Structure 1
Amino acid sequence: MDSILLLAQDPDVQFADPSKFTYPDTITAVQAELAKALHTHVHVRVLVDPKSTAHQQRSFELALMKAGLRLPVPNISFVNVSHCDIWTRDTGPIWLRRAGGREPSRLMIKPHFTLWGYLVGDHVRGPWATCDVPNTVPDGLSTALGLPVESATDFVTEGGDKSFNGLGTVIMSREVERQRHPGLTDAQIEALAQKYLRVSHVVWTQDGVADDEQSYLGPLEGEGGRRVYTTIGTGGHVDECARFVGPYTVVVPQLTPQQAQHSALAATTARRLDANAALLSNQTDQSGRRLVVERMPYPEELYLTINASEGTYQLLAQLPELGLTPGSGSVEVIAAASYTNYVIANGLIVLPQYYKPGRPQRFADADAQAVATMRRLFPGYEVKGVNPEPVNFGGGGLNCISNNMPAA
């Protein structure tokens, strides 16, 4: 792998008040901890918006120093690319690497982006609706790095809904892809994937985890019957619930019976994950070999009350179905937390970890079990942990804020 791409953010833009977290307490602090974990294994390219290059770069450098690194940091560099958020997996390119000696060996695919499907059906009104539309990140990278980009205007999708085995098979969520392509059959969507992603075989999951539901669908029933909102959910990206960990092996989270009893939301997630595990175990890879499904823990539910001054509330207030007052009020939201939203790079796994002093022991137990699972599935890999909560409360995780650029 050549590098991991991150999108820098202005320090005054946060999904939730940093005082509600222990360190890492901001989006940039999470990114800096991720860069700290990665830079000894892979080059980290931090993309800064030309309109605020000095501001974003200095903020990121300060965060790196707070993380304990001394500037300049080997293997961390800055690249000017226009953008307006942090979700590099979805607003950045989907990378292809050509086998053999043909040039160029790397190609970026730029799918059509509809704000995670919120623009399909006019579910958002306000400034957020124009943030990443049209998406400029792949084009900016093409110019900055001198690499080709291919526009896939009829393929409406995001990188977070893709998991590749590198041999011709991709996992995608049927519910996500159908929502993005209204009127198309599964076969027609598969044809688009085969055309643009150069895969020969598509494996489907069904519904994603409940806390990744698109937010315009309204609140869910959380622990104790509380009314909770998802934090700008995608509708069920596979990086929250199903990832290839080998040529024909897929890891799917599994809630414990105790977790499934915590709330109606958790019970829904448990049923969906078990159904996806069964569905995947009855599908094959590109060679017809039956997939092997491994299970791993799922984090404990994390809730936060968000008020009108915080970023996630301001985004939710632009969804007309929710009827929230833009300038006042508060909502309770659930974090988009999942251990499958990890980053993999050159012999390293960076895994979400959620235990903090004062939290119940079950948080620490789930973290430890997730680490043990990844060490078993990736023997010889180093496993490092990062707490991603300030990012989780914006609707994604570590994989969502990173983008793997292949080696030439």
Structure 2
Amino acid sequence: MVGNCGGRRRVDFRFDMYGYYSEEDELSILLQEFGKFHAQQVGIENTIYSTLISEGGDREFNGKGTMMAVRETEVDKRNPDKTFHEVETELKQIFNLDQIIWLPQGSYDDEYSFSGPIPSEDGTFRSYRSATANGHIDEICRFTDENTIVIAQITEEEAVVSKLHAFNKERLDQAYETIRAARNHEGKPFRILKMPVPEPIYIDLYPEDDAYRMLWGDENKEQLGGLLMDGTLFPEAPVNVLPAMSYCNFLISNNVVVAQKYYEEGQSEKIKEKDEKALRVLQTAFPSKRIVQINTLSLNLYGGGIHCHTRNIPAAQK
């Protein structure tokens, strides 16, 4: 964070590996410590400690006292031992906020990976989520300046032809209505730009693949007792998965916005058309910045995108 006098401060939240493990797990501890290490590297010494479990990908700020977050994630999934009021109050105090805009849910794609099968390309339920962040807002909704919000949207036509899109449309429509009703620090409606949702690209994972071993290997199978959360059997290889694809998971840098795209020669023209539409939305949102799109499918396979795998560090103001 940057204070009114230009100084910087780190907020240290508790961490449970996105709800996949306990806070005492070796990996949770290792990644939780990275924030402290990174702060030291860039000269940020002051720290505020929080009692909440939370991660940066589920918080969006406009820099003018407003934060957006997913209520199901911040309260129900990460802090079920606390009330909604307790979570909201602590977040407001820590970040000096005037208001929090609570979206009801994250995307259907970004649910807990072991929830159960999801719609495949042919509409049957024989595919699965790849690694996910388990409910992050940066997959579906972002601030691009203090008054502008970019939000993923699905058309009626898309929902008719795709069960996956239909599941997401219900959630995204609720999110849209929430931000449409919200007001900024001046009491005015936000400017809302609608972002397309990528056409799904499914990938078969095999036991020799690193991404398979990370999620679908024997260790997780044994830990879950061979069953997923919905009671279905843990899938056998090869596992057909949907990477965590999104056009909202972009990185805002000083003069450049690094964005995601998916089209490769020989693929459906619908993928190319959506890449181009996403580019136009970002050009509208960031008229003074250069937009650079890169193919991030392999990165998305590991449960996040460009924004998930990077960290914004504000410069200290003198």
Q: CA deviation at 1:143?
A: 3.2
In the other structure, the counterpart of 2:55 is 158
- Report the alpha carbon displacement of residue 346 of structure 1 after superposing the two structures with TM: 1.3
SS class of match (2:28)? coil
Identify which of structures 1 and 2 has the higher relative contact order when contacts are C-alpha pairs closer than 8 Å and 6+ apart: 1
Give the alignment partner of residue 140 of structure 1, picking from 21, 33, 37. Answer: 37
**1:282–1:213 Cα change, 3 Å:** same
3-state SS of the aligned residue for 1:208?
coil
Q: Please state how far the C-alpha of 1:186 moved relative to its aligned partner.
A: 1.9
| 1:36 corresponding residue in structure 2 | none
Name the % identity. Answer: 28
2:17 to 83, 93, 115: 115
Distance 1:402 1:203, change over 3 A: same
Distance 1:142 1:360 in 2: 43
Give the Å deviation of 1:226. Answer: 4.1
Question: In the alignment, which residue of structure 2 is the partner of 1:273?
Answer: 172
CA contact (8 A) 2:59 2:68 kept: yes
How far does residue 302 in structure 1 lie from its aligned partner after superposition?
Answer: 1.1
Find the aligned partners of 1:313 and 1:405 in 2 and give their Cα distance. Answer: 32
> 1:74-223 residue pairs with structure 2 within 5 A?
96-100=1-5, 105-119=7-21, 129-134=25-30, 135-150=32-47, 152-178=49-75, 179-223=77-121
Where 2:109 maps in the other structure, the secondary structure is: helix
Structure 2 gap segments, 5+ residues each:
none
Shift, 1:263, TM fit? 2.9
3-state SS of 1:212 partner: coil
Residues 223 and 262, structure 1, Cα contact 8 Å, conserved in 2: no
Secondary structure of 1:220's counterpart equals coil
> What RMSD in Å do the two structures reach over aligned CA positions?
2.1
Aligned with 1:376 (options 260, 268, 284): 284
CA distance in 2 between counterparts of 1:132 and 1:149 reads 22
Matching of residues 202-351 of structure 1 within 5 Å: 202-224=100-122, 225-317=124-216, 318=220, 320=224, 321-322=227-228, 324=234, 329-351=237-259
Map of 1:367 onto structure 2: 275
* 1:84-136 Cα deviation digits (max 9, x unpaired): xxxxxxxxxxxx011225xxx1111121111101236x9xxxxx952232511
Give distance in 2, aligned partners of 1:130 and 1:169: 34
What CA deviation, in whole Å up to 9, does each residue of 1:297-320 have, x standing for no partner? 111101001112223322333161
Deviations 1:249-293 (A, max 9, x none): 211111234432343222111221111101111122344333332
Gaps of 5+ in 1: 1-95, 123-127
Tell me, in whole angstroms, the C-alpha distance in 1 between the residues paired with 2:280 and 2:40: 41
Q: Which AA in structure 2 matches 1:202?
A: I
SS of the counterpart of 2:93? helix
| Secondary structure at the counterpart of residue 294 of structure 1 | strand
Deviation at 1:386, TM superposition (A): 0.7
**Pairwise CA distance, 1:151:** 5.0
Q: Is the 8 A contact 2:148 2:285 kept in 1?
A: no
How far apart are 1:181 and its partner, in Å? 0.7
CA distance in 2, matches of 1:112, 1:312: 26
Once the two structures are TM-superposed, the CA of residue 149 in structure 1 deviates from its matched residue by 4.6
CA distance in 2, matches of 1:99, 1:370: 35
* Residue correspondences, number: 302
State the alpha-carbon separation in 1 of the partners of residues 86 and 267 from structure 2.
47
Q: What SS class does the counterpart of residue 177 from structure 2 fall into?
A: helix
Distance 1:202 1:360 in 2: 39
SS of alignment partner, residue 97 of structure 1:
coil
Q: Distance in 2 between matches of 1:149 and 1:227?
A: 49
Question: Is the contact made by 2:182 and 2:189 (CA closer than 8 Å) also made in structure 1?
Answer: yes
Normalized against structure 1, the TM-score is what?
A: 0.70
TM-score by length of 2: 0.88
Conservation of the 8 A alpha-carbon contact between 2:131 and 2:244 = no
The worse-fitting range, judged by mean Cα deviation, of 243-252 and 379-388 is 243-252
Contact map agreement 1:353 1:385 (CA 8 A) in 2? yes
**Is the partner of 1:259 in helix, strand or coil?**
helix
**Cα distance in 2 for residues equivalent to 1:145 and 1:233:** 29
